Amino acid sequence: MVDNLTFQKLSYGLFVLTAKDGEKDNGCIINTAAQITVDPNRISIAVNKANYTHDMILKTGVFSVSILSEKATFDIFKRFGFQSGRDTDKFAGYEANVKRGENGVLYVTEGTNAFISGKVVDALDYGTHTLFIAEVTEAEVLAEDPSATYAYYFANIKPKPAAAPASEEKKVVWVCKICGYVYEGDPIPEDFICPLCKHPASDFERVER
C-alpha cells in the first residue's frame, strides 16, 4: 500500500525561488531544494511547470533560492505563492525586503535565514515538474533563525480557520490544507481549484463546524 500521509513525514523546507528574465523579476514558493554534492557544489530543485518562475529558469538557466525561516509571515506565502507573476509584479512595494545577488536575481532578506544562487547544468522533465540541477554560484547566511519546515508552516504560520459560533447549526465546509481558503458547500466539485493558492480539490479537507 501507499499511504499518502507518509509523505507529510518528510522534513521538507520552504523556499522562495526567484528568477529574472530581462527586466522581469519573479518568484514562487517551493518545498524542494537540496544539496546533492559538495564538490562540485550542486543543488537540485523541483519546480511545478505551472509556475511562471519555472519558464523563466528554463529560459535563463539562473535562479536563487531564499530559505524561509520561522520568522516568515503568512504574507510572504500569499505574495509569492498565491498569485501569478504572469499578471502581477510580486516585488511591488517589497523593495525593502529584497537584495540583488551577484547573478542579478533578487533574493528575499525578510523572514529568511540564507540564500543560494544556482546556474542550471541539467533540466530533467518529470511530467508536472522539472528537476533542475544547478551549480552553486553564491551562498550566504542571512540570519540564525531556524529554517521553517513544511510542518512548521501548517502548525504555526498558516492562519487557523475561524471557529463557528456554538449556537449555530453545524455546517459543512471544505478547507484548503495549503492556504486555509474555505469553500462553502458540500461536496466540493472534483475539478475545483483553490482561487488563492491554485491547489486542487484533493488538497481540501471536509470540516464540520
Interface residue list for Fe ion (CB under 5 A): 176, 178-179, 181, 194, 196-197, 199
Cβ-based nearer residue to Fe ion, 187 or 195? 195
Contact status, residue 151 vs residue 76, Cβ threshold 8 Å: no
DSSP helix/strand/coil, 80: helix
Shortest Å distance, C-beta 196 to Fe ion: 5
Per the listing, cell 517589497 goes with 94
Closer CB to Fe ion, 102 or 154, in the complex: 154
Q: How far is the CB of 94 from Fe ion (least distance, A)?
A: 21
Using CA atoms, how far apart are residues 102 and 206, in angstroms rounded to an integer? 46
Residue closer to Fe ion by CB (options 81, 118) is: 81
Q: How far is CA 18 from CA 42, 131, 190, 206, in A?
A: 17, 15, 32, 34
Smallest separation, CB 144 to Fe ion (Å): 31
Q: How far is the CB of 204 from Fe ion (least distance, A)?
A: 8
62 versus 194: smaller Cβ distance to Fe ion: 194
Coil/strand/helix, residue 125: strand
